[in-house]
Amino acid sequence: MEHIYNENKKGAPVFVLLHGTGGTETDLLPLAQALNPEYNVLSIRGNVKENGMNRYFRRLGEGNYDWEDLEFRGNELYKFIADKAEEHDFKLRDVIFVGFSNGSNIAIQLMLQQEEKFKKAMLFAPLYPTDLEKKHDFSDVKVFLSLGKGDPIVPESESERVIRLFEERNADVTHIWVNGHTLPQEALVAGKEWLNKH
């Protein structure tokens, strides 16, 4: 998979950056720099194409996921991250997912599929439109969510569902509401505060 790995400080946490639909591995680099310039960075380009746009998994329409493909791509991405962890000598528990939109959604999938592996995530404009029967144990998971009021892609009810997904599994959840399907300065400031606390 196309990616960038930047080691800024040996042994520091690793931001795994996951872009939105149509993005590339460079999109979230300024965000990572603003959040903490000392953290290491693994930024990955989605390898699924939708009308020429990069994504992490297929969908059948807006908010209509190809769940089989999502599971397959989640496993594929997990293996890639695990291989990079071995290659660059970092631990999966030191990973902090930083995702926007489609990138947030694949991060949720990874956390659900690899329940014991990933402990922190900063998810901007996430959408995971299903209720899960399995109750994962996220009691040692910390999540920052930036959710949109008036988001044209993610209805507020679906943003609430993402909050519930983590809270019902006992995760430590911090969330902020912003305007639309965006990643504004206020979300960055709140995210940085959260990061400094955790």
Residue type, 93: R
The answer to whether residue 146 is catalytic is: no
- Rounded Cα–Cα distance for residues 166 and 58 (Å): 24
The residue annotated as part of the active site, out of 19, 146, 151, 175, is: 151
**Residues 6 or more apart whose Cβ sits within 8 Å of residue 118:** 92, 93, 95, 97, 110, 111, 141
The answer to whether residue 101 is catalytic is: yes
- Rounded Cα–Cα distance for residues 127 and 176 (Å): 15
The answer to whether residue 136 is catalytic is: no
The residue annotated as part of the active site, out of 43, 101, 104, 159, is: 101
Using the Cα atoms of residue 86, residue 87, residue 89 and residue 93 in order, give the sign of their dihedral: negative
Catalytically active residues, by annotation: 101, 151, 181
